[in-house]
A and B are shown apart, each in its own frame.
Chain A
Amino acid sequence: MPLFERLYNFAHWLTQDREEAEDLVQETYAKALKGFSSFQPGTNFRAWIYQILRNTFLTSRTGLKSTATVPLDLGGDDETVPAANDTPESILLQRSDQQLVQEALGRLPVPYREVLLLCEFEEMSYQEISTTLAVPVGTVMSRLSRARRALRDTVQELRGNKGT
């Protein structure tokens, strides 16, 4: 999938709104073109442009709101979450759970949603994510671990609500 479509998809996931996503992508492109001279050759281009998009989002109204309502280090960003003790049967995802996963992902706080998308969907390395989010690799790992846990809890919650 071309970068433009990926950027748009990511922007829409962040803003949860088509019009805002379009504004975000437009502004990102404008900044990238203007600032291309500030791009350091030899560094990662993809991380660079995602970083622009994300910074633009964070300073937008929706972005400010999303970080104002959720403290970024949702409970100690520095330790990893201990492994769960659930039995495998209770937690394996069903095929029909895809819908739930999608819904749950949209409900996660932005810092969790974005780190999951960058890792699982964009398939960025920890290093690339670290550059994109401007946080140390250790923080990427702990945030990922929390985000995965949060996603799983949310899916289970949603599944419970639907009474299966």
Chain B
Amino acid sequence: MACELWTENLDAYFDGELPADEARAFNEHLRQCATCAAEGLRRVQQKRAVQAVGQRFTPNPAFRASIQKSIAAPRQSPWGWRWLPVFLSATAATLLIASAFLLNLQHDRRSEQQLLSELVDQHVATLASANPVDVVSSDRHTVKPWFQGKIPFTFNVPELQDSPFVLVGGRVAYVSQSPGAELIFRVRQHQMSVFIFQERGLREARENEAVRTALSFQVRTWRHNGLRYFVIGDASAQDLDKLSELIKAAG
């Protein structure tokens, strides 16, 4: 019985850290092995318990206000004053990084980058917004028809089953006055925006399929059937690639 080999990997498996093929093999084994299944159940329970009790301490309102004040004060650095107040209220990571991205753009203002910066801005606005989506649904069959009549084209929402991604919802986005779709996905703690626009609405933006790292934001972009796609987020490069593949597969 080679269970020792499997038990060694129990943690990695339930932490989602096993490579896909090993995870599949492990999954098979779990179905057949009561020992590993019981040990796995125990570990998952403990994991959940820690997750549940982990949220325990809430900052005092007075302390929150004092921090807010200290970082909202105007600063010398050009990125400071504009973004820091929002720092508290949303995913700070993406906000600060977005500001760095915007700052960088001042040195190098080509139209494609301008377009990307606009989209990053919108992605950031989505993160910061209290109501980030206009249609709240994880069901792609709800989200797709919702866009009908609101944007001048249709597109397919990818199948997310067996993927780590969750569809949060969608909203109408605008670039140079032309409407497009923004889909919001979540993976782990990260949120990603997928923008889809008609190519002719983006005439000035000429770019081929590209992999870019807009400073800390990962961006994937490609064109298909007269549409331009942009995937933006601070998730890992692999996650962006995976989501891009799913969307491409959906056609």
Contact = CB atoms under 8 A, between A and B. Distances in A.
Contacts of A93: 42, 45-46, 49
Contact of B50 (A116, A126, A141): A116
Interface in A84-137: 84, 88, 91-93, 97-98, 101-102, 105, 116-117, 119-123, 125-126
Interface string B76-109: 0100100010011111111011001000000000
A29 B70 contact: yes
A8 B59 contact: yes
Interface in A35-51: 36, 39, 41-43, 45-46, 49
Given A98-B53, A119-B15, A121-B55, A4 B45 contact: no
A136 to B, nearest CB: 14
B57 A148 contact: no
A18 B134 CA distance: 39
Given A3-B93, A45-B97, A8 B58 contact: yes
A40 to B, nearest CB: 9
- Residue of B46, B54, B58, B100 with most chain A CB atoms under a 10 A cut-off: B54
Nearest to A1: B55
How many chain B residues sit at the interface, stated as a range, is: 35 or more
A59 interface: no
Contact of A4 (B55, B57, B88): B88
A30 B73 CA distance: 12
A123 B188 contact: yes
A46 B93 contact: yes
A3 B15 CA distance: 22
B234 interface: yes
Contact of B67 (A25, A36, A102, A151): A25
Nearest to A102: B53
B56 A13 contact: yes
B177 interface: no
A93 B44 CA distance: 10
A148 B45 CA distance: 11
B120 interface: no
B71 A33 contact: yes
Contact of A2 (B8, B52, B75, B88): B88
- Residue of A1, A148, A152 with most chain B CB atoms under a 10 A cut-off: A148
B189 A46 contact: yes
B60 interface: yes
Interface of A: 1-5, 8-9, 12-13, 18, 21-22, 25-26, 29-30, 33, 36, 39, 41-43, 45-46, 49, 80, 83-84, 88, 91-93, 97-98, 101-102, 105, 116-117, 119-123, 125-126, 141, 144-145, 148, 151-152
Listed from nearest, the 4 A-B pairs whose CB atoms lie closest are A121-B54, A45-B93, A12-B57, A41-B215
25 contacts: A3-B93, A4-B88, A4-B92, A8-B59, A25-B59, A26-B70, A29-B70, A29-B71, A33-B75, A36-B77, A39-B96, A42-B213, A45-B93, A45-B96, A45-B234, A83-B39, A93-B42, A101-B52, A105-B50, A105-B54, A121-B55, A122-B54, A141-B12, A148-B46, A152-B46
